[in-house]
């Protein structure tokens, strides 16, 4: 019994890009890379479906991450201010 082959993301991307170019048929690409034509079609479809995320998620997630970090830091500053005020009152008495 043969083991299942595993393909790297880089290999899948190269095959999908070749399929997107349209220079060769899916059959030719599959034969060249020794994979099943259905697999090439699947990788091509996944590449097309995920293409929008390449341009939108990078900026959106970076902004979201920054906003979350700022929110956490403001919460920490508020907590430390309360503790500092509490300790300062204790020293005065």
Report if residue 65 sits inside a domain.
yes
Report if residue 39 sits inside a domain.
yes
Mean pLDDT lowest among 18-27, 37-46, 64-73 = 64-73
Residue 76: give the domain boundaries.
9-92
CB atoms < 10 A from the CB of 37, how many?
15
Number of separate domains in the chain: 1
pTM: 0.59
Report if residue 55 sits inside a domain.
yes
Query: Using CA atoms, how far apart are residues 9 and 1, in angstroms rounded to an integer?
Result: 25
Report if residue 14 sits inside a domain.
yes
Per-residue confidence band for 48, with pLDDT thresholds at 50, 70 and 90 = very high
């Amino acid at each position: 019994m043969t083991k299942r082959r595993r393909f790297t993301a880089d290999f899948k991307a190269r095959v999908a890009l070749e399929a997107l170019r349209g220079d060769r048929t899916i059959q030719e690409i599959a034969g060249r890379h020794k994979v099943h034509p259905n697999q090439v079609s699947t990788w091509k479809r996944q590449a097309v479906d995920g293409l929008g995320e390449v341009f939108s998620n990078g900026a959106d997630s970076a902004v979201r991450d920054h906003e979350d970090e700022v929110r956490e830091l403001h919460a920490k500053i508020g907590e430390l201010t309360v503790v500092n005020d509490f300790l300062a009152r204790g020293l005065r008495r």
